[in-house]
Structure 1
Amino acid sequence: MTPLRRFFSLSLFFLLVESLFFSSAKGQDVAFELVHFFEIPAPHLVDWGSNRLLFVADSQANLKTFDIEGKEIQFLSSQSRILPTLLSAQNHIRPFLFYQEAQRYAFLNRQLTEIEDYPLSDFEAQNSGNLGLVRLLAPALDNGLWAIDESDFSLKKVYLDIKNLTVSTPLAPFLKGEALEVEQLQAYQNMVFLGLKSGRVLVFDNLGNFKKEIQAGRFSFFGEEMIFIESERNALIWQNLYTNAKKEIVFPAARKILFAFQSENDLILVGKQLVWIYSLQK
Structure 2
Amino acid sequence: MVVILALPLGALAQATVPSAASVAPAAGVAPVEAAPGPKTLNPNAPAPAPSAWTLVKSLTLPQASAASVDRRGTLYLADKDNNLRQLTTAGQPLNTYSPAQPGHVAVLEAWNQNSVLVFYDDRQQVLLLDRFLAPLSEIRLADYVDGTVRTATLAPDGLLWLLDESNLVLREFDPQALRLVQNTPLDLLIGRSRPDFRFLRQYQNNIYLVDRTSGIFVFDNLGNYRKKLPFTGLDFITFRGDEIAYLSGGQLHFFHLYNLTERTQPLPADLDATTVRQVLLSDQYAYFVTTKGVQIYQL
TM over 0.5: yes
Equivalent position amino acid for 2:125 in 1? R
With over 3 angstroms needed to count, the CA separation of the structure-2 counterparts of 1:176 and 1:36, relative to structure 1, is farther
CA contact (8 A) 1:221 1:262 kept: no
Output aligned runs, 1:99-110, within 5 Å.
99-110=120-131
Equivalent position amino acid for 1:195 in 2? V
Shift of 1:37: 2.9
Query: CA–CA distance in 2 between the matches of 1:45 and 1:184?
Result: 12
Segment drifting more, 235-244 vs 160-169 = 160-169
Query: CA–CA distance in 2 between the matches of 1:105 and 1:29?
Result: 34
Following TM superposition, the consecutive aligned residue runs of length 4 or more in structure 1 with deviations greater than 6 angstroms are 26-29
State the identity as a percent.
24
Query: CA–CA distance in 1 between the matches of 2:103 and 2:47?
Result: 45
Q: Does 1:220 align with 2:238?
A: yes
Instruction: Quote the residue 2:263 is aligned against.
Output: 247
Shift of 1:23: 6.4
Asked which structure has the greater CA Rg, the reply is 1
Q: Secondary structure at the match of 2:138?
A: strand
Output aligned runs, 1:36-75, within 5 Å.
36-41=56-61, 42-75=63-96
Instruction: Quote the residue 1:136 is aligned against.
Output: 151
Equivalent position amino acid for 1:229 in 2? L
Shift of 1:34: 1.6
Q: Secondary structure at the match of 1:70?
A: coil
Equivalent position amino acid for 1:141 in 2? P
TM-score (structure 1 length as normaliser): 0.79
Equivalent position amino acid for 2:111 in 1? Q
Shift of 1:26: 7.8
Cα deviation 1:4-43 (Å, max 9, x = unaligned): xxxxxxxxxxxxxxxxxx9643899952322323124221
Number of residue pairs matched by the alignment: 251
With over 3 angstroms needed to count, the CA separation of the structure-2 counterparts of 1:26 and 1:154, relative to structure 1, is closer
Query: CA–CA distance in 2 between the matches of 1:163 and 1:262?
Result: 33
With over 3 angstroms needed to count, the CA separation of the structure-2 counterparts of 1:169 and 1:29, relative to structure 1, is closer
Instruction: Quote the residue 1:197 is aligned against.
Output: 212
Query: CA–CA distance in 2 between the matches of 1:89 and 1:110?
Result: 9
Instruction: Quote the residue 2:26 is aligned against.
Output: none
Specify every segment of 5 or more residues in structure 1 that has no aligned partner in the other structure, as ranges.
Answer: 1-21, 124-129
Shift of 1:47: 0.9
Instruction: Quote the residue 2:251 is aligned against.
Output: 235
Query: CA–CA distance in 2 between the matches of 1:97 and 1:170?
Result: 25
Q: Identify which of structures 1 and 2 has the higher relative contact order when contacts are C-alpha pairs closer than 8 Å and 6+ apart.
A: 2
Shift of 1:186: 0.9
Q: Secondary structure at the match of 1:82?
A: coil
Specify every segment of 5 or more residues in structure 2 that has no aligned partner in the other structure, as ranges.
Answer: 1-37
Whichever structure has more strand as a proportion of its residues is: 1
Output aligned runs, 1:1-282, within 5 Å.
24-25=40-41, 30-31=48-49, 32-41=52-61, 42-91=63-112, 93-123=114-144, 131-175=146-190, 177-198=192-213, 200-214=215-229, 215=231, 217=234, 218-230=236-248, 233-251=249-267, 254-256=272-274, 257-280=276-299
CA contact (8 A) 1:185 1:193 kept: yes
Shift of 1:196: 2.1
Q: Secondary structure at the match of 1:161?
A: coil
Instruction: Quote the residue 1:15 is aligned against.
Output: none
Segment drifting more, 235-244 vs 174-183 = 174-183
CA contact (8 A) 1:227 1:260 kept: no
With over 3 angstroms needed to count, the CA separation of the structure-2 counterparts of 1:169 and 1:108, relative to structure 1, is same
TM-score (structure 2 length as normaliser): 0.75
Segment drifting more, 72-81 vs 203-212 = 72-81
Cα deviation 1:94-128 (Å, max 9, x = unaligned): 111111221211101122121101112333xxxxx
Q: Secondary structure at the match of 2:142?
A: helix
